[in-house]
C-alpha cells in the first residue's frame, strides 16, 4: 500500500520522498514510477531508531529545503497467536515499528511542518485499531495507540497550519504478512465475496483523497465501514463476532504448536 501511495502522489504532480528499511522494495517503487521517477527520492532508514530518523530529517531538509506532508504507513503484524504465547522480542518489534516509528517521524518533522503555510500528517491505523482481533491483540494495541496519537495531535494542532488525518484500512491486498515475517495460516477472510480485499491502488486513492479533503478519519473498504458502525452500536457483539471467526484459526495453531513440542 505504501508503494501505491507513492505512485498516486506522483501521478498528482507531487514530489515524493519514500522511506523504507528494504532497499529492494524502494528500487521496485522507483522502477514503477517510470517517467515520474525524477520526482521521487528514496532513503533507506530504520524508523525504529530515533537517531536514524533525526539524521533523516536533517538530510531531507538540507537536500530539499521543505516538506509539506508526512504519511506514516509503515506497519507489521504479529504471528497469529495469543498474547500468552507471544515472546517479548516479537511484542517489542511490533510496537517499535507501528507506534514508535510513527511517533519518531512525527517528532522529527512536526516542528518543520509548523513553519509551512500549509501541511498535513496522515497516520495509518487499522480496523484492528478500533476492533479487537484475537491473535492480533498486540498489533491491534499498537494501531489503537496510533489512532489516539493521531486524534490527540488533531486536537492539539487545531488552529494551526498542520492538518491531521487518521486512516483505518480494512482488508487490503498487500504483502504485509511477508514483510512482517509471518506465515499465512489460512486463506484471507477477504476471499469472501462480500468482503473482497481492496486493491492497494484503490486504497491509496482513498487515503490521498481523504488527505486532500482534510478528512478527520478515513475508513478504507466496506469491511472497515461496516465493522466501524457495528462496533460503535454494539461493541460486545462485534467483538464476539470477530472472536468466533478467529477461534478455529487460533485453536488450530495452538494444537500445531503443542504437537511440535511432542
With beta carbons less than 8 A apart as the criterion, state whether 108 and 54 touch: yes
CA distance 169 to 192: 17
139 a catalytic residue: yes
Query: Which phi and psi angles does 233 have, rounded to 5°?
Result: -80, -50
Residue for grid cell 486513492:
205
Paired residues of 42 in beta bridges: 18
With beta carbons less than 8 A apart as the criterion, state whether 55 and 107 touch: no
Q: Helices (DSSP H) in the chain: which residue ranges?
A: 2-11, 23-33, 50-64, 88-95, 101-113, 137-156, 176-180, 200-212, 222-233, 235-261
Other C-beta atoms lying within 10 Å of the C-beta of residue 253: 19
Given the residues 104, 139, 216, 231, the one annotated as active site: 139
Q: Active-site positions?
A: 139
Amino acid at each position: 500500500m505504501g508503494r501505491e501511495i507513492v505512485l498516486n502522489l506522483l501521478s498528482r504532480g507531487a514530489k515524493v520522498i519514500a522511506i523504507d528499511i528494504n532497499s529492494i522494495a524502494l528500487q521496485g517503487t522507483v522502477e514503477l514510477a517510470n517517467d515520474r521517477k525524477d520526482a521521487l527520492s528514496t532513503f533507506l532508514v530504520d524508523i525504529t531508531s530515533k537517531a536514524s530518523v533525526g539524521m533523516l530529517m536533517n538530510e531531507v531538509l538540507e537536500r530539499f529545503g521543505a516538506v509539506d506532508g508526512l504519511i506514516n504507513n509503515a506497519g507489521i503484524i504479529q504471528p497469529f497467536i495469543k498474547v500468552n504465547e507471544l515472546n517479548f522480542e516479537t511484542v517489542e518489534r511490533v510496537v517499535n515499528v507501528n507506534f514508535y516509528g510513527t511517533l519518531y517521524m512525527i517528532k522529527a518533522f512536526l516542528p518543520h511542518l509548523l513553519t509551512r503555510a500549509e501541511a498535513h500528517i496522515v497516520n495509518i491505523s487499522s480496523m484492528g485499531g478500533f476492533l479487537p482481533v484475537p491473535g492480533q491483540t498486540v498489533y491491534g494495541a499498537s494501531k489503537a495507540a496510533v489512532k489516539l496519537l493521531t486524534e490527540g495531535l488533531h486536537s492539539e494542532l487545531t488552529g494551526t497550519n498542520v492538518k491531521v488525518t487518521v486512516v483505518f484500512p480494512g482488508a487490503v491486498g498487500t504483502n504485509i504478512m511477508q514483510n512482517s515475517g509471518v506465515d499465512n495460516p489460512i486463506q484471507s477472510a477477504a476471499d469472501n465475496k462480500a468482503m473482497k480485499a481492496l486493491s492497494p491502488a484503490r486504497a491509496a486513492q482513498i487515503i490521498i483523497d481523504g488527505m486532500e479533503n482534510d478528512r478527520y478519519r478515513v475508513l478504507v473498504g466496506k469491511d472497515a465501514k461496516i465493522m466501524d458502525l457495528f462496533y460503535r452500536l454494539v461493541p460486545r457483539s462485534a467483538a464476539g463476532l470477530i472472536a468466533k471467526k478467529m477461534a478455529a484459526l487460533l485453536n488450530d495453531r495452538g494444537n500445531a504448536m503443542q504437537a511440535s513440542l511432542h
